[in-house]
Structure formats: structure tokens, C-alpha cells
Amino acid sequence: MPPLPVVEVIPVGGIKRIRKGDDLGKVIADAVQAQGTPVRDGDIVVVTQKVVSKSEGRLVELAGVRPGKRAVALASELGKDPRMVELVLRESTRVVRKGHGVLITQTKHGFVCANAGIDMSNVEAGYAALLPVDSDKSSRKIRRRLERETGKRLAVIVSDTFGRPWREGQTDVAVGCSGISPLDRLVGKTDPYGYVLRVTQPAVVDEVAAAAELVMTKLSMVPVALVRGVSYKRGESGVKSIVRKRSLDLFR
């Protein structure tokens, strides 16, 4: 039997407060070197969506948002800030569900989540953070810069916190990735009991994002983690490739 893998999750501290225009790849490369945990070939660098959005100027001042009639009506019904609802509608293609003070929408990326992924945590008062326009592209930019700085072959995941249908609580998932195939396709392989797998496709990028969140808790001010020891396939299909097609989605 081959040796069982050992996975390490290493928080990356000492990262300055990120602002628009900051080069995240360079910032991360400097931080891992400074704390004595330089990256190795095959490492996966997980970066929270919030710092990516900050670096890309995806913060919006609520004072400058003028809500439309639909936003005002929804805000009154749900007990929400109409300016926030307006931003959610702008970033969404449709409202999936509403009720109990919650607005679930489908974003322009295809994600189904609360408030189009917009929130006001870990940003300056009076501002809201939107998701990156293209998190796969963001991941690719960070990875290429990191690889130039370090000379190592890496993967990058941009993570965010999503809720789950039918379960309380939240967990981090990948909203963008580069250098790693999002799924481990096991279809056609045989398990130890001789059963041929027909649908098994572990979402590796989501599993890694969730593991990284254990050291990047919301109150820790740690926006980056190194995940080491995961066996994965290289790829550039991105998270957009695992958004389920409407024709195959039983819940729409």
C-alpha cells in the first residue's frame, strides 16, 4: 500500500492591509518568505475573495448608491438596506428565493448564493465588497506573479464563504482557481470492493478552500494560506467550468 498523504495547512500572516492596485502575488511572495514558510513546488495558495476584491477596486461606498423601485420594495419586505439590495440586483441575473430576511440570487458568474456574494465584513465602514468580476482570471494573475517571484510551480484558489441548502452554517468554497483542475474525475475507476464508479467527482478546489478556512477564520486577519501535500491535476478550466448547466440542474 502506498504511503497515505499528509496535508499541511499553513496560515500566512504579516500581510498588510490591501488597497486598490496592490500586487497580491508580490505581497504574498514577500509574506511567505518573511515568515519562514517559502512556497514549494505543488503548493496550493488559497486567497480570500475579500483581499482580491480590494486589490481590484471592487469596493462600493453605500452613500453613493441610489436604490431603484424594485430594490426599495424588496428591502422593505425583507428588512434590508435598500442600497445593499440595489447592489445585489446589479450583480445578479435573477432572484432565486427571498424570505426570512434572506435574498438568494444567481450572480453573473453563475453562483447561487446569499446577496450575490456581497457583504460588509472586513471592509471600512460604509463600504460593501463585491465579488471579483472574473475570479478565475484573478487567480491566474496571482499564480503567474507568484511563480515568477518564487520559481516554483503552484496553484492558486480564490475562496469565499457560502451557505448550503438544507444545512445550517457556512463553509468556504472556491470562486476562482488557476493551475489546478477543479474536479478529480474518478468515473470509470474501481473502488477496493470492485465497484465501478459512475458519478464520483470530488470537487478538489472546494475541499482545499474549506481546509484553508480553518486557519483563515473571519476574525484572524489572515487572508492567505498555503495548502501542502494535496495530490491534484494541473488545469486551467477554472471554477466557471463546474457551474452546473441549467439543463442538468434538478433544483431550478
Calpha distance 79→88 (Å, rounded): 14
CATH fold of 8-52+133-244 reads 60s Ribosomal Protein L30; Chain: A; (3.30.1330)
| Biggest alpha carbon–alpha carbon distance for the chain | 64
Residue 116 to residue 33: CA distance in whole angstroms: 35
As a residue count, the chain comes to 252
CATH code, residues 60-127? 3.90.1660.10
pTM value > 0.75: yes
Contact 89/83 with Cβ under 8 angstroms?
no
Report the alpha-carbon distance of residue 189 to residue 194 in Å, rounded: 9
State how far the Cα of 250 lies from the Cα of 73, in Å rounded to an integer. 30
Q: Provide the 8-state DSSP code for 194.
A: S
CA angle centred on 59, ends 57 and 65, rounded to 5°: 125
Domain ranges of the chain: 8-52+133-244, 60-127
CA distances from 132 to 68, 73, 77, 194 (A): 23, 27, 28, 44
Looking at residue 21, its pLDDT comes to 96
Cα separation, 82 vs 63, in Å, equals 11
pLDDT of residue 5: 83
If we measure between CA atoms, which residue out of 148, 199, 157, 194 comes closest to residue 176? Answer: 157
pLDDT below 70 — which residues of the chain? 1-2, 186-187, 197, 199, 252
**Alpha-carbon torsion 84, 88, 90, 91, what sign?**
positive
Let me know if 99 is exposed, middle or buried by CB neighbors in 10 A (0-12, 13-18, 19+). Answer: exposed
Q: Alpha-carbon distance 198 to 196, whole Å?
A: 6
Query: How far, rounded to the nearest angstrom, does the alpha carbon of residue 97 sit from its chain's CA centroid?
Result: 22
pLDDT tens digits, 182-240: 998 766 777 777 777 676 788 999 999 999 999 997 777 899 999 999 999 999 999 99
How many whole angstroms separate alpha carbon 92 and alpha carbon 77? 19
Residue 31 and residue 142: Cα distance in Å, rounded?
A: 14
